[in-house]
Chains A and B, each alone.
Chain A
């Protein structure tokens, strides 16, 4: 493709009511056949079979529509949505919105997989157990850890599970009551503070150095003590800057008797380049729904793969998928286990997709994923910082970044009054869905965190950069245009707050009717 031409985009606007408002009493999408007399004779009246105490007092107030009405309704809604498959979804940094090969969907929709039940006898689920076992083996190689489980239903739960293991480890050593503090960094994913806090640890957050963007060794030394239980850290941090002192930091914590837990949710810049083991971590987790291609639209389905070193393996949540040389089985006989953090064994569809992705790429392919991601990211950074007015990338200014960058629109805001939220909405007019601003705390003002991973072509990255350039230019020439965006979307500017005030939020039809006094 030659010179990038921006699209004359306009999204469908259906002004579609919610489905409850489309309901007409008596309409049906499916008419169930009458039950054969023979069945009624043998079994009796279905209503009578159901115990009285589990029966509803009132009929459920479900919307009543015919099939084509339902179909039209949801297709219209889908046209008012910008999904991952339709837009250049570079904007969602820390989320790795990469293309997931469609053949993976064939695997997970195959009845051989989709009709499995987690309570089936192990003898009948050898195939999926083998895939889980082998995926764990692959992750062991990728990370250098010694054991993996997939029970956590996302990254946060995996960090919580690691925090639980940390607690069990210190308790077993008689130091559970003494080692009550964990250390994290401000640009690590916030869950590295939140999950251990939920487990009862006191959280100490190291703030970034003014120049480098990650904490100094001295900052860490000032708080490490015999109260330190562990270090929960993301590297590269949200800024996309790789903390080159990671090994030294880990050594300091180890020397003080603490353990180190790596958050590798965003592994996209690390495959085949650096492993958890070499960074000195004792535990880590991957988000299979990010770097390993499994999609995570609408906050699911997620899977946090939790990995630990040998000396912590006994604490892993049960069951662990094991192999006795002949068959695969679910091992519950683990007396030191922290128990369960979630039902069953994990989001197995995400494991299946991740397995397909890893084996189809191979070792060289995985490394290429990271190399391409880093190249794409630094190419986009070069374009944005040299061609787009009003944008900057705070900290470590002369260094390359890994898989993402946290930019700032502060200068644009200062000079034009147009801030990151305005730019975000205006991008929608060019066919992009919202971009990710920042995790809290907002240390980078007017933030913006794109992540152009390996699945985007150069032309797509160029188109993305051109859109940013165009919106910035508009901000300087006609700030009102940007501040009142979107103009080509299904809805226009919504003031927020106040509409996001939790006091006023209504998320179900039932509560809406109650608040509005509708019968």
Chain B
């Protein structure tokens, strides 16, 4: 039976970028972009990936959405496809993206290929979460999420490998988005919206061929066990967002918040999903440490996805009580670029700079710079 590929193109993605609007979220912005002469870019980018798919995958069933959301692109390239929904207005909105994702899920697609930006990723994530693997064609103004291929052609290649290699690894990858209004004012306020499963193409880790190399999963367990074994008595641990930090709570058999900050003391849960106020109230004058992990490919340890760990919390904690954990693969993906902080507070940022003993496995330490 042919594998099913779900195709969602967000045709308006990226339109704000070329005309200097730093994004296309919201109807007002879209109107403004159109007035400034913005053209649809995502359909062309989607076609590059689809052309590769047409030439390299023989048996594939494409399920898509009407008009520029995938149908037109397939027709232009002569690709067999099935339209599984409808749109009511020429200018589509996030609701259409969400509806399309819902239909894809109902039709049991094996993989969703979408063209868009962080907003599109976020909309799809809100519907499918980690239920269906996805891969994004980067076509938006904002590409902070780790669910995108590096270019449209590579998105096509990843689809090919996914359908041809039954052993292709899937990784939970961050869906990030920034508040566009804040961004237009020059302030980057990124939030972690969730995780989607993405087919992982080997690039920065060794293949099994050479043997003996830890997989990220084994490293994760080693990191978590090492952190747990070294937890100090009577000390509060603020455990930041993400899949790396989640493992600590899992190994402690405690409930966790993937996107929030959980507080643990003496290996027992104090509070899930704590906000800044909770944190300041609980830690008060007690000893506490922060455990964070960098955002894959970007390297931010503060200021992206963990705003609860505010400048006030960070200053009370001090750099020496910040524990950075990461899989070796995530560090390698930074290509020797330093870890980053952007708390919005110069003093806190300055305090956090310097070298960290990053825990990358059980009793394994990388010394890495943060700037």
A501 cross-chain contacts in B, Cβ below 8 A: 208
Cα distance A218–B167 in the bound complex, in angstroms:
43
Partner of A205, one of B157, B203, B206, B366: B366
Instruction: Report whether B203 and A218 are in contact in the complex, using a CB–CB cutoff of 8 Å.
Output: no
Given A440-B206, A497-B167: A215 in contact with B336 (beta carbons within 8 A):
no
Partner of B354, one of A197, A205, A222: A222
Given A207-B336, A414-B150, A443-B336: A202 in contact with B207 (beta carbons within 8 A):
no
Instruction: Report whether A446 and B367 are in contact in the complex, using a CB–CB cutoff of 8 Å.
Output: no
In the complex, whether B338 has a CB less than 8 A from a CB of chain A is yes
B364 cross-chain contacts in A, Cβ below 8 A: 203, 205
Instruction: Report whether A210 and B336 are in contact in the complex, using a CB–CB cutoff of 8 Å.
Output: yes
In the complex, whether A257 has a CB less than 8 A from a CB of chain B is no
In the complex, whether B28 has a CB less than 8 A from a CB of chain A is no
A26 cross-chain contacts in B, Cβ below 8 A: none
Cα distance A25–B336 in the bound complex, in angstroms:
61
Cα distance A210–B154 in the bound complex, in angstroms:
26
Instruction: Report whether B336 and A204 are in contact in the complex, using a CB–CB cutoff of 8 Å.
Output: no
B204 cross-chain contacts in A, Cβ below 8 A: 442-443, 445
Instruction: Report whether B357 and A219 are in contact in the complex, using a CB–CB cutoff of 8 Å.
Output: no
A222 cross-chain contacts in B, Cβ below 8 A: 354-355, 367
A206 cross-chain contacts in B, Cβ below 8 A: 366-367
Dominant secondary structure at the A interface = loop
Q: How far is the CB of A23 from chain B (nearest CB, A)?
A: 30
Instruction: Report whether A417 and B367 are in contact in the complex, using a CB–CB cutoff of 8 Å.
Output: no
Instruction: Report whether B365 and A203 are in contact in the complex, using a CB–CB cutoff of 8 Å.
Output: yes
Binds A, one of B85-93, B120-128, B176-184, B327-335: B327-335
In the complex, whether A188 has a CB less than 8 A from a CB of chain B is no
In the complex, whether B209 has a CB less than 8 A from a CB of chain A is yes
Number of residues from A at the complex interface, CB < 8 A: 41
Instruction: Report whether A443 and B335 are in contact in the complex, using a CB–CB cutoff of 8 Å.
Output: yes
B154 cross-chain contacts in A, Cβ below 8 A: 414, 417
Instruction: Report whether B211 and A223 are in contact in the complex, using a CB–CB cutoff of 8 Å.
Output: no
Cα distance A419–B205 in the bound complex, in angstroms:
13
In the complex, whether B337 has a CB less than 8 A from a CB of chain A is yes
In the complex, whether A413 has a CB less than 8 A from a CB of chain B is yes
A438 cross-chain contacts in B, Cβ below 8 A: 206
Q: How far is the CB of A66 from chain B (nearest CB, A)?
A: 37
Instruction: Report whether A421 and B367 are in contact in the complex, using a CB–CB cutoff of 8 Å.
Output: no
In the complex, whether B363 has a CB less than 8 A from a CB of chain A is yes
In the complex, whether A500 has a CB less than 8 A from a CB of chain B is yes
Contact with A along B314-357 (1 / 0, CB 8 A): 00000000000000100110011110000000000000001101
B336 cross-chain contacts in A, Cβ below 8 A: 207-210, 213, 394-395, 443
Instruction: Report whether B357 and A207 are in contact in the complex, using a CB–CB cutoff of 8 Å.
Output: no
A213 cross-chain contacts in B, Cβ below 8 A: 336
Cα distance A231–B203 in the bound complex, in angstroms:
30
- With a 10 A CB-CB cut-off, give which of A186, A223, A414, A417 has the most chain B CB atoms: A417
Given A210-B338, A417-B157: A223 in contact with B357 (beta carbons within 8 A):
yes
10 A-B pairs with least C-beta separation: A222-B355, A210-B336, A497-B208, A500-B208, A204-B365, A417-B157, A206-B367, A441-B328, A207-B368, A205-B366
| Known interface pairs A197-B363, A203-B363, A419-B202; 12 further A-B residue pairs with C-beta atoms within 8 A, sorted by A's residue number | A203-B364, A207-B336, A207-B367, A219-B367, A222-B355, A223-B357, A413-B203, A417-B153, A419-B203, A443-B332, A497-B209, A498-B167
Cβ contacts A to B, 22 pairs, < 8 Å: A204-B367, A205-B364, A205-B367, A206-B366, A209-B336, A222-B367, A223-B355, A394-B335, A414-B150, A414-B151, A440-B210, A440-B213, A441-B332, A442-B204, A443-B335, A443-B336, A445-B332, A496-B208, A497-B208, A498-B167, A500-B208, A502-B211
